[in-house]
A = this chain, B = another copy of it.
Amino acid sequence: MSTTSLGLALLGLLHKRPASGYDLRKIFQSTPMAHYSSSPGAIYPALRKLEQQGLIAGAVDHRQTLRPRKTFRPTRRGTRTLEDWLAQPVTRDDVAFRLDELLLRFAFMANFPAAESTQSFLRDLARELAGYIDDLQRQLEALPLGPPPHPRLAVECGIESYRAHLRWARRALRHFELIETQRDD
């Protein structure tokens, strides 16, 4: 029943712009979204499943071409599913295991400008990132001082990557807060 990560990615793209399976594959190949598979064996079945769930609807283009070209767009239920996903709380597990998916959610919020959800998302994200960094720091302290230095260095790499994400989240939050005060003028 539930919608997979790939399904939500497809739903988000289709909400921005209706597209065919081939269009979507090209997007996955050519943009930073390349982390999702562009293989036909993944995308076409995922589209069919979304259609069966009533989250997207396909319309066939007959104009000017013999070969039909099927263009998909989200149904109202699909849009609601997408909004629900974007509004999910940010958990520690999301931060630890699905950071990419969180960034994807953030990117898709661009198409729902009404909500102030972007700011609360970034606040929650910053809070969970800070908490997870503390966890990692504690794991680091528990490690032997070596040699070899590799285990400590590997954990330090993770910590620094998460710190970079935290700095980014705080900067992005300031950016949106600034925009808001400007708009109030």
State the A residues within 8 Å of B (CB): 31-32, 34-35, 96-97, 103-104, 106-111, 113, 118, 136, 139, 148-151, 153-158, 160-161, 163-165, 167-168, 172, 175-176, 179
Contact = CB atoms under 8 A, between A and B. Distances in A.
Nearest to A142: B31
A150 B32 contact: no
Nearest to A31: B139
B175 A110 contact: no
A153 B165 contact: no
Contacts of A157: 103, 165, 168, 172
A175 B156 contact: no
Contact of A160 (B31, B118, B167): B167
B153 A106 contact: yes
Given A103-B154, A157-B172, A160-B165, 15 more contacts: A32-B155, A103-B158, A104-B154, A106-B150, A108-B150, A110-B149, A110-B150, A111-B148, A118-B150, A149-B176, A153-B168, A153-B172, A157-B165, A160-B167, A163-B164
Contacts of A104: 154
B154 A165 contact: no
B160 A34 contact: no
A32 B139 contact: yes
Contact of A106 (B111, B136, B154): B154
A15 to B, nearest CB: 13
A149 to B, nearest CB: 7
